């Protein structure tokens, strides 16, 4: 059966201006970090992509190494783009990144011009695209001059392989320098993708101020702290969770008694707000005008539908914010 997108999809979503650019992003964007690899079930992630687009999610975020195996998320996304979304490419913002290990040898990692240009060429081939909308440097490289890395992003935009340049995981000082270099080159930095959640707040120590000053958007990843900010861990560690498997970035050792106590108390506030803990955690990020969009993952369409309900209530009272701070501190 041919997929036909919902006609009212743009009425369901809030869109926010990305820094000082001409681009607006959906308040919730879909990340393909997990659940879209060759190890995953095609029909499951196909349903997630359909629901996302039907709900007004226009931004789909990938990276060269997403899978597993690395590269497979881009391949699978490219296939579904061709099969189901033909004719809708111009309604989408598709992003990719390079900066972590992708292939063997000295040119398959970090931030050299060689690596970034080669990696994007491979990503475009996997997805069957002529260009991505945003191309990010995925993490700072302590050994490659920042001028070279930013020069590579500038080159890629001038070649027409990406429309906009972005950075990810850059601390405030390096972000400020990178943004300044890109501005000098004439390819302004569109967006920064940092890790940010109620449990991971380093961006508040200067980065958000830098982005606001420089007119750059912000799209946090891991807004639910790898699932900690959901109902999953309210009663300890379930057998099927990421923490129990310790295969991903959330380890069992991180789910301490103190953490579970915090989650339980946060959940009480969420319930008073008529939200799940996950919905409140996303709304808590979106309350800040400097946040353009939150990047969420999903293992099933139902999970995505649940997260999207965060948009029903992103206002917080002073009392609620004070209570949340008290719990987090």
Is the model's pLDDT at 97 over the cut of 60? yes
List beta partners, residue 195: 221
Q: Are 295 and 29 in contact (CB under 8 A)?
A: yes
- pLDDT value at position 277? 98
pLDDT confidence bin for 1, thresholds 50/70/90? confident
pLDDT confidence bin for 49, thresholds 50/70/90? very high
pLDDT, average across residues 140-161: 98
Per-residue pLDDT tens over the stretch 55-67: 999 999 999 999 9
Per-residue pLDDT tens over the stretch 156-174: 999 999 999 999 999 999 9
Q: Are 208 and 177 in contact (CB under 8 A)?
A: no
Q: Are 98 and 64 in contact (CB under 8 A)?
A: yes
CA 301 to the chain's CA centroid: 17
pLDDT confidence bin for 234, thresholds 50/70/90? confident
- pLDDT value at position 256? 85
Q: Which H or E element spans position 238?
A: none
What does the alpha-carbon distance between residue 232 and residue 277 come to, in Å, rounded to a whole number?
Answer: 10
Is the model's pLDDT at 19 over the cut of 70? yes
Q: Are 75 and 96 in contact (CB under 8 A)?
A: no
pLDDT confidence bin for 13, thresholds 50/70/90? very high
Strands 15-17 and 24-26: antiparallel
pLDDT confidence bin for 316, thresholds 50/70/90? very high
What does the alpha-carbon distance between residue 3 and residue 270 come to, in Å, rounded to a whole number?
Answer: 35
Q: Are 60 and 52 in contact (CB under 8 A)?
A: yes
- pLDDT value at position 238? 64
Per-residue pLDDT tens over the stretch 261-284: 999 999 999 999 999 999 999 999
pLDDT confidence bin for 249, thresholds 50/70/90? low
What does the alpha-carbon distance between residue 87 and residue 85 come to, in Å, rounded to a whole number?
Answer: 6
Q: For the domain covering 13-226+286-315, report its CATH number.
A: 3.20.20.100
Q: Which residue has the tokens 């004439």?
A: 186
Residue 207: closest CA among 244, 243, 170:
170
- pLDDT value at position 245? 59
pLDDT confidence bin for 95, thresholds 50/70/90? very high
What does the alpha-carbon distance between residue 81 and residue 87 come to, in Å, rounded to a whole number?
Answer: 9
pLDDT, average across residues 251-260: 79
Q: Are 282 and 296 in contact (CB under 8 A)?
A: yes
pLDDT confidence bin for 232, thresholds 50/70/90? confident
- The angle subtended at Cα 315 by Cα 27 and Cα 232, nearest 5°, is 70
- pLDDT value at position 250? 63
pLDDT, average across residues 215-229: 96
Torsion of CA 305, 98, 19, 314, to 10 degrees: 20
pLDDT, average across residues 216-242: 85
pLDDT, average across residues 169-193: 98
Joined together, the tokens standing for residue 42 give 């095609």
What does the alpha-carbon distance between residue 53 and residue 251 come to, in Å, rounded to a whole number?
Answer: 32
- pLDDT value at position 241? 62
Contacts of 53 (CB under 8 A, 6+ apart): 5, 9, 85, 88, 92
pLDDT confidence bin for 324, thresholds 50/70/90? very high
Strands 93-98 and 217-218: unpaired
Task: Please report the DSSP string for 66-107 in residue order.
Answer: -TTTTTHHHHHHHHHHHHH-TT-GGG-EEEEEE-S--SSSTT
Boundaries of every domain in the chain: 13-226+286-315
Average pLDDT of the residues of the chain: 95
pLDDT, average across residues 182-204: 98
pLDDT, average across residues 31-53: 98
Q: Are 73 and 88 in contact (CB under 8 A)?
A: no
Task: Please report the DSSP string for 135-199 in residue order.
Answer: EEE-S--SSS-HHHHHHHHHHHHHTTSEEEEEEES--HHHHHHHHHHHHHHT--EEEEE-B-BTT
Q: What's the pTM value of the predicted model, to 2 decimals?
A: 0.95
Contacts of 193 (CB under 8 A, 6+ apart): 61, 97, 136, 166, 167, 168, 169, 218, 219, 220, 221, 295
């Amino acid at each position: 059966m041919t997929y036909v997108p919902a006609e009212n999809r743009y009425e369901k979503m809030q869109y926010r201006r990305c820094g000082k650019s001409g681009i607006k992003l959906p308040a919730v964007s879909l990340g393909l970090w997990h659940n879209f690899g060759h190890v995953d079930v095609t029909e499951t992630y196909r349903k997630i992509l359909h629901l996302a687009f039907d709900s007004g999610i226009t931004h789909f975020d990938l990276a060269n190494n997403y899978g597993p195996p690395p590269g497979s998320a881009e391949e699978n996304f490219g296939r579904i783009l061709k099969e189901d979304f033909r004719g809708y490419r111009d309604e989408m913002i598709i992003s990719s990144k390079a900066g972590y290990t992708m292939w063997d040898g000295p040119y398959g990692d970090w931030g050299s011009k060689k690596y970034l240009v080669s990696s994007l060429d491979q990503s475009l081939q996997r997805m069957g695209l002529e260009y991505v909308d945003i191309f990010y440097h995925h993490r700072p490289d302590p050994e490659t001059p920042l001028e070279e890395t930013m020069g590579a992003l500038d080159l890629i935009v001038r070649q027409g392989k990406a429309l906009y340049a972005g950075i990810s995981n850059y601390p405030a000082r390096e972000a400020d320098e990178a943004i300044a270099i890109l501005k000098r080159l004439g390819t302004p930095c569109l967006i920064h993708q940092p890790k940010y959640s109620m449990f991971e707040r380093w961006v508040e120590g200067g980065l958000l101020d830098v982005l606001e000053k420089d007119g750059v958007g912000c799209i946090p990843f891991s807004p639910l702290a790898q699932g900690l900010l959901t109902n999953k861990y309210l009663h300890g560690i379930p057998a099927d969770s990421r923490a129990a498997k310790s295969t991903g970035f959330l380890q069992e050792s991180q789910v301490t008694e103190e953490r579970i106590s915090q989650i339980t108390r946060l959940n009480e506030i969420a319930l008073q707000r008529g939200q799940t803990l996950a919905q409140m955690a996303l709304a808590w990020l979106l309350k800040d005008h400097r946040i353009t969009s939150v990047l969420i993952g999903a293992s099933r369409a139902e999970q995505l539908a649940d997260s999207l309900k965060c948009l029903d209530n992103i206002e917080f009272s002073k009392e609620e914010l004070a209570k949340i701070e008290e719990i987090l501190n």
